[in-house]
Amino acid sequence: MEELISQLQVHARRFWKYRWYAMGVMWLCALAGWATVLTMPSDYQASARVYVDTQSILKPLLSGMTTVPNVEQQVSIMSRTLLSRPNLERVMRMVDLDLQSNSARQRERALDQLAATIKITGTSSHDIYTISYRGGEPKQARDVVQSLLTIFVEGSFTGKRDDSRQAVRFIDDQIRGYETRLISAENALKDFKVRYTGLLPRQGDYSAQLADAADALNTARLEMDEAEQARNAIRAQMGGEPPRKGKDRRPVRINNPELDARIALVAKDLDALRLQYTEQHPDIVAAKRLIGQLEARKIEESKHPYRDNDPGRNYSPMLQQLKVAQTEADAKLAAIRVRVAEFGARHARLLEQSKAVPEVEAQLSQLNRDYQINKDNYEKLISKREAAKLSGELSSTTEMMTFKIIDPPTLPLTPVGPDRPLLTTLTLCGALCAGMLTAVLIGQARPTFASPAALRELTGLPVLGTVSLTWTEAERARRRHSRLVLASAFGALVFAYGAVLAASVLRT
């Protein structure tokens, strides 16, 4: 502690010895600093606060129809990208700052300075954003904030609108491509169906049709067997009752009641069948064939004029009934045989075609699958395009988010910087420190011994004696005058500080 006190005493003596140098440095530093502070340009700050209302009633109404844009994220991204280079260049053009730049380097420096003096702050919970700018001119500060506010509002709408237009153009290109594929798939499917029209399944698959044809053939054969058994039974009954012989014979007439009755019976059955089936039905074809055969037989028998025209004349009534039943059984059997033949030919044709059916069905399934895939994708793209258009319109509409200017940018009247009173005080403190440091450094450059102990300690030799200095009366008066001048100089420095401080306060 004593050593520290002695060091402080040494430095104090050095300072006092070179006090005039210290005072000169103080004045020089103070005057230079105060002149710099007073000539510094004033900074004017303009700011604006805007509230973004993102709670729109359109969100719940259109949530199921299209992709509702995330307006909160949209506004947040725009606020972060507001200080991008294109936006800053646009601000410079809007406020004519680019006219002050004569070279590319000056333009870059102006862009950097503009970006450094703009501040954008916001609250995530209340969607309130503050845009502020500090510049050397009040009008310029207000214009810059107004330009940033305009870009912020417009960019929140146009950004998503451009994205939606690009998405719609991309989807349109995809739709045209899928439309071409869909037409090609439709033509390929049509040509395939025309080429293999006989092998394509109509109801169910081809194996089901083959099974149905086999079942129909077996049923027809069973009916044919039943009809043959019924006819044979009638013939057996007819063989048990012989005909009655008679002597009277009449000449044969052209009309034949037996054949007429059979033709009428078959025609009646044909009319009934026509009410149920078409002309190509096997039963109708068989009935027509039987009528033709009976007509031919009638014409053939009409060529013999002396035949007995009453076939039932020599038969009993029971035999005549059996004869009619036999005729009906023959007609039914003939129709069933035609049906069996038709079903057999159909079954044979299906059985022959069944060898090529699996390959045809596989190709048809592949064509249908390709066509369905292209159709589904085409319809999805159509719906996506409409959704993209609606989403773009939602993003660009002012109903999704509303901008409310809370504090519009105004023309600042008083500067916000620099803080001249603080800088003036710091300049005085720095000048005082610089003066004292100068005196101490000069004292170290020109060392002297302030006491015999310091000389003895440095040299290690004993001090034999000291010579004291005695001041005369004139010298004492001169010393008092010197102290008075030093105090006046320091007082003048403090007074100058007060004057500069007052000027700084009045200027701000």
pLDDT of residue 28: 94
Distance CA 480, CA 476 (A): 6
End-to-end Cα spacing for the chain: 48
DSSP string, 317-340: HHHHHHHHHHHHHHHHHHHHHHHH
Rounding to the nearest 10 degrees, give the CA dihedral for residues 181, 183, 188, 194. 170
pLDDT of residue 241: 47
Distance CA 8, CA 4 (A): 6
The single-letter code of the amino acid at 499 is: A
State the pairing for strand pair 128-135/118-123. Answer: antiparallel
SS (H, E, C) 270-310: HHHHHCCCCCCCHHHHHHHHHHHHHHHHHHHHHCCCCCCCC
C-alpha Rg value of the chain to the nearest Å: 62
Q: Going edge to edge, which strands form the sheet with 118-123?
A: 118-123, 128-135, 44-53, 402-407
Contact 291, 266 (CB under 8 A): yes
Strands (E), 27-161: 44-53, 118-123, 128-135
Contact 27, 493 (CB under 8 A): yes
Beta bridge partners of 122: 129
Token digits of residue 60? 């719940």
Contact 70, 163 (CB under 8 A): no
Distance CA 254, CA 245 (A): 23
Which residue segments constitute the domains of the chain, with CATH numbers given?
A: 1-40+418-508 (no CATH), 41-199+389-417 (3.30.1890.10), 206-355 (no CATH)
Integer angstrom CA distances of residue 8 from 3, 434, 447:
9, 17, 15
φ, ψ (nearest 5 deg) of residue 124: -70, -25
The number of residues making up the chain comes to 508
φ, ψ (nearest 5 deg) of residue 465: 180, 175
Q: What is the pTM of this model?
A: 0.44
Contact 61, 435 (CB under 8 A): no
Contact 417, 42 (CB under 8 A): yes
Distance CA 445, CA 438 (A): 11
Distance CA 11, CA 403 (A): 67
Q: Among 348, 248, 251, 346, which Cα is nearest to 302's?
A: 251
Task: Enumerate helices (H) and strands (E) in the chain, giving the number of each.
Answer: 15, 4
Contact 389, 168 (CB under 8 A): yes
Measured over all CA atoms, what is the biggest interatomic distance in the chain, rounded to whole angstroms? 209
Map residue 70 onto helix, strand or coil: coil
Token digits of residue 138? 């009040």
Q: What is the mean pLDDT of each run of 10 residues along the chain (508 residues)?
A: 68 76 91 89 87 60 50 61 84 85 86 87 72 88 89 67 72 86 86 73 61 83 84 74 44 60 81 79 82 82 56 60 79 85 82 70 82 87 77 56 81 83 91 88 73 70 73 80 88 91 80
Token digits of residue 313? 């004349």
Element (H, E) at 405: strand 402-407
Distance CA 403, CA 131 (A): 14
HSE-up of 342 (CA within 13 Å, CB side)?
16
pLDDT of residue 244: 45
